[in-house]
Structure 1
Amino acid sequence: MAVVEGVGAGAGEHGEQGEQGEEVTLFVARRVDSGYEESFEAWARGILGAAAAHPGNLGTGLLRPAGAGDPWHLLLHFRDAEAFRAWQSSPARAACFARVDGHHVEVARRELHGMEGWFATTPTGARRTPPARWKMAVASTVAIAPLTLTVNLLLAPHLAGLPVAVRTLLLAPLISILMTYLALPAVTRLLRRWLFPA
Structure 2
Amino acid sequence: MNSSHQASHVTLVITHGVQAEKQQAYEQWLEQIMPQAAQFPGHLGVNVLRPVHGENTYTVLIRFDSLDNLFHWTQSEARKTLVSELPQLLSGPEHIDVRPGAAFWFTPVAKAAARPAQWKQYLLTLGVIFPSTLLIPLLWSTLLPASRGTLWGHFLNDATVVALVVWLWMPLLTRLLKNWLIPRK
TM-score range with shorter-chain normalisation?
Answer: 0.5 to 0.7
Alignment check: 8 A CA contact 1:27 1:109 kept: yes
Match of 1:93 among 79, 92, 98: 79
Residue 117 of structure 1 aligns to a residue whose secondary structure is coil
Which amino acid in structure 1 is aligned with residue 81 of structure 2?
A
Which amino acid in structure 1 is aligned with residue 157 of structure 2?
L
Equivalent positions of 1:118-133 (< 5 A) are: 118-120=105-107, 130-131=115-116
Which amino acid in structure 1 is aligned with residue 94 of structure 2?
V
Separation in structure 1 between the aligned mates of residue 139 and residue 49 of structure 2, nearest angstrom: 35
1:103 Cα offset (Å):
0.9
Percent identity of the aligned residues?
A: 24
Is 1:151 aligned to 2:136, yes or no? yes
Separation in structure 1 between the aligned mates of residue 70 and residue 54 of structure 2, nearest angstrom: 30
Is 1:23 aligned to 2:20, yes or no? no
Separation in structure 1 between the aligned mates of residue 114 and residue 101 of structure 2, nearest angstrom: 14
Is 1:110 aligned to 2:97, yes or no? yes
> How many residues were matched structurally?
170
Separation in structure 2 between the aligned mates of residue 96 and residue 89 of structure 1, nearest angstrom: 12
Alignment check: 8 A CA contact 1:144 1:183 kept: no
Separation in structure 2 between the aligned mates of residue 33 and residue 183 of structure 1, nearest angstrom: 27
Residue 94 of structure 2 aligns to a residue whose secondary structure is strand
Separation in structure 2 between the aligned mates of residue 64 and residue 187 of structure 1, nearest angstrom: 13
Separation in structure 2 between the aligned mates of residue 110 and residue 74 of structure 1, nearest angstrom: 11
Separation in structure 1 between the aligned mates of residue 38 and residue 49 of structure 2, nearest angstrom: 12
Separation in structure 2 between the aligned mates of residue 183 and residue 37 of structure 1, nearest angstrom: 25
More helix by share: 2
Query: Deviation per CA, 1:48-106, whole angstroms, max 9, x where unpaired?
Result: 222234333333215247547x44433323334233222212343233235x1751353
Residue 111 of structure 1 aligns to a residue whose secondary structure is strand
1:173 Cα offset (Å):
4.1
Equivalent positions of 1:132-147 (< 5 A) are: 136=121, 139-141=124-126, 143-147=128-132
Which amino acid in structure 1 is aligned with residue 35 of structure 2?
G
Match of 1:63 among 50, 57, 82: 50
* Pair 81,130 (structure 1): closer, same or farther in 2 beyond 3 Å: farther
Long gaps (5+) in structure 1: 1-18, 122-127
Which amino acid in structure 1 is aligned with residue 27 of structure 2?
E
* Pair 187,65 (structure 1): closer, same or farther in 2 beyond 3 Å: closer
Residue 16 of structure 2 aligns to a residue whose secondary structure is strand
